[in-house]
C-alpha cells in the first residue's frame, strides 16, 4: 500500500494545493500593507432654488407677494385665511377669496328651510301691507273733507242769524 503510485500522486496534489494557498495569502498580506488610495475629488453642485414646496407661505398684502421670487406656481395665504394669491414664474398673480364650507347635518338643513319659509311669509306680509297703505289715504282724505264742509256750513248759519 505504501508503494502505491496513486498514493504518491495524491500527496503531491495536496502539497501543490497548500503551496498555492500560501502564495494567495502572501498576496493578500501585501495588499493590506499598501496604503489605501484616496478616491478622486468629487465636484459638488448646489441648487440655489428651494426644493421644499410643501410650505404654506403667508403674506399681508399684494405688495409682499409681488416682491417674492418664485420657482413654480406658489400660493400665498392672508393671515386670516380669507384671501389667497397664486403667483407663477412669469410674475402673474391671481387673487381668490376663500370661504369656509361648514358641513351641515339634517338639523341645520331644516333650520335653513324654516328660515326661508319665514322670509317668504315676511315678503307676503309686506305686499299686503303695501296694498292696504294705498287704500288708506283715500279714506283719510275723505274724512278730512268732511270737517271742512261742516265748518263752512256752520259759518253760513251764523251769518244768517245776524242778518
How high is the pLDDT of residue 9?
62
How high is the pLDDT of residue 115?
97
CA angle 87, 93, 95 (to 5 degrees): 110
Report yes or no on whether pTM surpasses 0.75. no
Rounded average pLDDT over 16-24: 94
What are the pLDDT digits (tens) for 104-154?
899 999 999 999 999 999 999 998 888 875 555 555 444 444 455 444 444
How high is the pLDDT of residue 44?
78
Extents of the domains making up the chain: 1-34, 57-97, 102-156
Average pLDDT score over the chain? 77
What are the pLDDT digits (tens) for 38-80?
777 778 777 666 655 656 788 988 899 898 888 888 899 998 8
How high is the pLDDT of residue 142?
47
Q: Is 78 exposed, middle or buried (0-12, 13-18, 19+ CB in 10 A)?
A: middle
The widest CA-to-CA distance across the chain, in whole angstroms, is 192
Amino acid at each position: 500500500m505504501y508503494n502505491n503510485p496513486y498514493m504518491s500522486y495524491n500527496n503531491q496534489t495536496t502539497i501543490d494545493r497548500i503551496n498555492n494557498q500560501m502564495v494567495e495569502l502572501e498576496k493578500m498580506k501585501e495588499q493590506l500593507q499598501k496604503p489605501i488610495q484616496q478616491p478622486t475629488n468629487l465636484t459638488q453642485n448646489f441648487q440655489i432654488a428651494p426644493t421644499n414646496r410643501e410650505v404654506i407661505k403667508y403674506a399681508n398684502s399684494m405688495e409682499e407677494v409681488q416682491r417674492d421670487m418664485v420657482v413654480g406656481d406658489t400660493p400665498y395665504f392672508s393671515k386670516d385665511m380669507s384671501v389667497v394669491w397664486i403667483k407663477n414664474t412669469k410674475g402673474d398673480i391671481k387673487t381668490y377669496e376663500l370661504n369656509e364650507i361648514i358641513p351641515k347635518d339634517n338639523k341645520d338643513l331644516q333650520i335653513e328651510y324654516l328660515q326661508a319659509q319665514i322670509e317668504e311669509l315676511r315678503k307676503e306680509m309686506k305686499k299686503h301691507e303695501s296694498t292696504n297703505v294705498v287704500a288708506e289715504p283715500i279714506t283719510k282724505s275723505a274724512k278730512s273733507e268732511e270737517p271742512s264742509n261742516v265748518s263752512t256750513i256752520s259759518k253760513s248759519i251764523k251769518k244768517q242769524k245776524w242778518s
